[in-house]
Amino acid sequence: MNDARAAVEPRRRRQRPAPADGTALDVRELPSYGFGDHSLMWWGTWGIILIEGTVFALAVMAYFYLRTRVANWPASVDYPGPLWGTINLVIVLLSAIPNVWAKRAAEARDLPDVRKWTWVLLAIALATIAVRFLEFKSLNVRWDSNAYGSIVWTLLGLHTVHLLTDAYDTAVLAVLLVTGPLEGKRFSDVAENALYWNFVVAAWVPIYAVIYIAPRVI
Amino acid sequence: MSTTAPELRLPPSRHLTPPEVRELERTWSDRPGILGWLATVDHKHIARRFIVTCFVFFLLGGLLAAAMRMQLARPENDLLGPDLYNQIFTMHGSTMMFLFAVPVMQAVAIYFVPLMVGARNIAFPRTAAFSYWILLAGGVFLFVGFVLNIGPDVGWFAYVPLSGPQYSPGKRADWWAQMITFTEVSALLASICIIATVFKLRAPGMTLTRIPLFVWASLVTAFMILFAMPAVMLASTMLIMDRLIGTHFFNPADGGDALLWQHLFWFFGHPEVYIIFIPGLGMLSSIIAPFARRPIYGYPAMVLSLIATAFLGFALWVHHMFATNVAELGKSFFTAASMVIAIPTAIQIFCWIATLWTGKLNFRTPLLYVLGFFFILILGGLTGVMLASVSLDTQIHDTFFVVAHLHYVLIGGAVFPLFGAFYYWFPKMTGRMLSERLGRWNFWLFFIGFNVAFFPMHILGLEGMPRRVYTYPAELGWGTLNLVSTLGAVTIAVSVLLFILNVVVSLRRGALAPDNPWGAGTLEWATSSPPPACNFVDVPIVHGREPLWQPTRGPEYVTGLATHAREVLVTSVVDALPDQRLMQPDSTIWPFVSSLAVSAMFVGSIFNPWAIVWGAIPVAIALTAWFWPGREETRKALALEKAP
């Protein structure tokens, strides 16, 4: 790391300082990466969250719209079994804690801790995916049984896609954190990954409520 | 284009030595050869391809329209059969909406937003490149389907149950639904690039109250896309699932509902109109200021009107469904909202009139297109207010009156500003001026041809001629007006041919363009024509809304950005205070490869749902390779690194 810095440092020093007549603004001492809204990736991640949050919201609206089309809901099938979904809710909510630790470790640029919590989060994501398969089995309806089955499978499927992509994303980061090459910007990638996982967590609460609670109360 | 452009003149720097300027230029340039061409992440190259591609789709869509006009030119014509006619009007609408109107507006933004905010490149340049490749793939996909006789034939809004499994067996409707996925992925990703560029890559001093109106328009549009496009993606995914894996979203027999499609489609479809229209408004503001030789009157009112239009645009979708059984109270709300949205548009028109009234006008082709916009858009807007009335809409729903209205709005509101913008910005993009003489012919033939083609459709619609019929009996007496309309279409075709001629001739022999041929005030005119790979040799500092029209005071440019690495200056969201030197990623082939992998997955899934699973593997590999940092790049970044 230091060798590389030494090789390029003279080039930077060779650049003349800004003229002193006030016509220029020298930015060479500014940081080269940042966290939160300083980071461009934070904005990109929020863009993705807004898009996918809109998809979730519209799918939930479609659920309630379809509810108004029939007399009984769910029509001629059992309620979804709540056990595995509730277990997943607990796992996902608890995962927010190591997620915060991963983010803090990234902001402190504490590489060993960042590695540790990234692998922990990967394990949690894989566990939620495993439980998710059991959830699909306990829905008590097939996607092609009726419109209720279609929208329930779609809601659960949409959230599962997020679990899968985030698990893969986390896996790639976890490997990169071990093999390198690393630079400071990778810490902000970890922080952005934590932001995205927060979205996956936050999205699960209303979707859980719609899938498991709504049919029993409406 | 690049081969015929005049040799690049590197602008002089205020503080870099000529070797440093050359190094900076080398750093930002693409590698040579076909691989370098496929790997470019330069927003100007991406946008130029985007614009050319969209224009090719505009021509193809125009040829389809010409075929329809030929068929309708006389009663009981048998040039096209009903089946081919169905495919042609569906292809025309889908091409113009999804492959031309939305992407071309984003393409212009991808070119000019970074230049207008004084940035060296767009944010997330690799994503912008991917956005282009995936749009190209979607367009090629649609037209390959058409050539293979599996072109969609269910109308550009593909209503169920017609597009459902029962009434559209075969692959045609799937082709339409998957084309939606391609184009919407492209639009959504481009929006994120534009939003991040506007918020974070502005030149120091360009506070939110100083950004050019075109940039505001692009920003507002990008946000609209984020919230509107997911609706059509969800809807088309539901449709394709109904068709391929037996879900029942739109099947009333098993608890589904056909109107759900209309709600989801128009929740996208109405904002879509404004997604096409708002960038046009931004282009008008860009053109009017220099051609009236004064800043736009009422900047805050203009910005607030854009934002108000965007919000209201989401509250109108049911006015496309007045002929369905939605509740009467709901219809009243949507009627009111449809009328209210005329207010922010009117505010902008009055501000432009005030600007033109008090300015010193320079009657060149771009301004002609602006004036053409006023005439046509106002007519289209007036019929829009008419259609907002439920009783009138029920009477003329699905007639040629609606066809006339939507073309007045979209061609007047978007295509005229776009052509004006093309004449205005062509010198910046190519270093050559377009011919003014051909430009005037182009404009007048377009303007006259447009009105001759579309005005008669109002009358035909009021007389009851339904849209989407391949012919009509002679006794109804619609022959003459239809023939007039076809003659208008021919005139438009001649006009567009003149435009192409103008571009081709001017690229070779047009007058060389100076840096700022129109004497405009915004930053894209501060660099050379065409701009160098790094956009600005010295990143400018901004002290007002029209930086080139204002006396300089305080610091004028930025120093201290590396010349051997692609460093961009990141600034704060509201005040544009310098915040970071961010090293942008290098050119890379992976966005292109990823687009191929994603395309294979999308196309495969039409034939077998498992293609989503197996197709995801190459996608994951390509995206990982895209993200994985190179050792050389990391070394360079480490050398420049400074922790926050």
For A145, the 3-state DSSP assignment is: coil
CB contact under 8 A, B642 and A31: yes
Q: What is the mean pLDDT of residues A202-216?
A: 96
List all residues 6 or more positions away from A46 whose beta carbon is below 8 Å from its beta carbon.
A195
Burial classification of residue B54, based on how many CB atoms lie within 10 Å of its CB (0-12 exposed, 13-18 middle, 19 or more buried): buried
Q: Please say whether the beta carbons of A55 and B230 come within 8 A.
A: yes
Q: In the structure encoding, which two tokens stand for residue A34, read together? A: 């940042």
Q: Is A64 on the interface with B (CB under 8 A)?
A: no
User: In the structure encoding, which two tokens stand for residue B507, read together?
Assistant: 């690229």
| Dihedral (Cα; B46, B230, B58, B446), 10-degree rounding | -110
State mean pLDDT over A137-147.
Answer: 94
CB contact under 8 A, A29 and B642: yes
pLDDT of residue B333: 87
> For B347, how many CA atoms within 13 A lie in the half-sphere containing its CB?
16
Cα–Cα distance list, B436 to B424, B431, B495, B498 (Å): 11, 15, 14, 12
Which residues on adjacent β-strands are paired with residue B557? Answer: A24, B540
Q: Do B641 and A32 touch (CB under 8 A)?
A: yes
Are residues B507 and B1 in contact, defined by beta-carbon separation less than 8 angstroms? yes
Q: What is the DSSP letter of A17?
A: P
Tell me phi and psi for residue B512, to 5 degrees.
-65, 135
Q: Are B61 and B95 in contact (CB under 8 A)?
A: yes
Backbone angles phi, psi at B100, to 5 degrees: -120, -65
- The pLDDT of A54-66, averaged and rounded, is 97
Tell how strand B557-559 and strand A24-26 pair up: parallel
Q: Closest partner residue to B581 among A32, A55, A181, by Cβ?
A: A32
Identity of the residue in A19, A40, A180 whose CB atom sits nearest the CB atom of B15: A19
A91 near B CB under 8 A: no
B468 CB-near residues (< 8 Å, 6+ apart): B86, B89, B155, B398
For chain B, residues with pLDDT lower than 70 are 1-9
pLDDT 10s digits, A77-101? 889 999 999 999 999 999 999 999 9
Average pLDDT taken over every residue of chain A: 91
- B107, exposed or middle or buried, with CB in 10 Å at 0-12, 13-18, 19+? buried
Angle formed at CA B52 by CA B48 and CA B54, multiple of 5 degrees: 115
Other residues' Cβ atoms within 10 Å of the Cβ of residue B300: 8
The A residues from 21 to 40 touching B (CB cutoff 8 Å) are: 22-35, 37-38, 40
Q: Are B400 and B457 in contact (CB under 8 A)?
A: yes
How many whole angstroms separate alpha carbon A61 and alpha carbon A59?
5
How far, in Å, CA of B158 to CA of B174, rounded?
A: 10
Q: Measured between alpha carbons, how far is A187 from B523 in angstroms, rounded to an integer?
A: 34
Q: Which own/partner pairs from B605-611 qualify as long-range (CB within 8 Å, at least 24 positions apart)?
A: B605/B178, B605/B240, B605/B244, B606/B171, B606/B174, B606/B175, B606/B178, B606/B240, B606/B244, B609/B244, B609/B245
Cβ burial, residue B574 (10 Å; 0-12/13-18/19+): exposed
Measured between alpha carbons, how far is B166 from B173 in angstroms, rounded to an integer? 11
Q: Specify the pLDDT at position A20.
A: 76
**Per-residue confidence (pLDDT) for residue B2, from 0 to 100:** 41
Contacts of B644 in chain A (CB under 8 A): 31, 33-35, 38
Tokens of residue B577, six digits: 């205070």
Q: Which of B528, B538, B563 is nearest to A25 (CA)?
A: B538
**Does pLDDT of A18 surpass 90?**
no
For residue B348, the 8-state DSSP code is H
Nearest CB to A183 within list B248, B249, B637: B637
The helix-helix angle for B172-200 and A40-67 (nearest 10°) equals 140
What the block records as the tokens of A62 is: 């479609």
**Cα-based torsion angle of the residue sequence B57, B60, B61, B66 in order, rounded to the nearest 10 degrees:** 160
Q: What is the DSSP letter of B101?
A: I
Q: What percent of chain A has pLDDT over 90?
A: 83
Using the structure block, give the residue that is written with the tokens 């949690």: A124
- CA A213/CA A204 separation, integer angstroms: 13
Distance from CA of A212 to the nearest CA of B (A): 19
Nearest 5°: CA angle at B581, between B577 and B587?
130
Confidence (pTM): 0.95
Give residue A12's pLDDT: 52
Residue carrying the six token digits 């006794």:
B475
Q: Is A172 on the interface with B (CB under 8 A)?
A: yes
Of A160, A134, A153, A77, the closest CA to residue B247 belongs to: A153
Q: What angle do CA A109, A114, A117 make, to 5 degrees?
A: 155
Q: Which residues of A touch B233 (CB under 8 A)?
A: 55
Q: Do B254 and A28 touch (CB under 8 A)?
A: no
Question: And the tokens for A58?
Answer: 């519209």
Find tokens 């006789």 and name the residue: B149
CB–CB of A28 and B200 under 8 A?
no
Per the listing, tokens 């398969």 go with A133
- Give the count of beta carbons closer than 10 Å to the beta carbon of residue A10: 8
C-alpha torsion sign, points B401, B403, B408, B413? positive
Q: Say if the Cβ atoms of B229 and A51 lie within 8 Å.
A: yes
ipTM of the complex: 0.94
- Chain B CB contacts of A30 under 8 Å are 560, 569, 578-581, 642
- Give, in degrees to the nearest 5, the angle at Cα B91 between B102 and B266: 55
For residue A16, give how far its alpha carbon lies from the nearest alpha carbon of chain B (Å).
Answer: 8
Q: What angle (nearest 5°) sits at the alpha carbon of residue B164, between those of residues B160 and B169?
A: 140
pLDDT at residue number B435? 96
Q: In the prediction, which pLDDT does B390 show?
A: 86
Is A14 a residue whose pLDDT tops 60?
Answer: no
**B599, B182 contact by CB (below 8 A):** yes
CA–CA dist B638, A32 (Å, integer):
9
The pLDDT score that the predictor gives to residue B279 is: 97
Can you tell me the distance from the alpha carbon of B632 to that of B643, in angstroms, rounded to the nearest whole number? 20
Distance, CA of B145 to CA of A35 (rounded, Å): 46
The alpha carbon dihedral of B276, B279, B285, B290 has a sign of negative
pLDDT number for residue B480:
97
Quick check: bond before B114 cis, omega within 30?
Answer: no
Tokens of B609: 């749902």
pLDDT digits (tens, 9 = 90+) for B242-273: 999 999 999 999 999 999 999 999 999 999 99
CB contacts < 8 A, A to B, total 219
Pick left, alpha or beta for residue B520 (phi over 0 → left; psi -120 to 50 → alpha; otherwise beta). Answer: beta
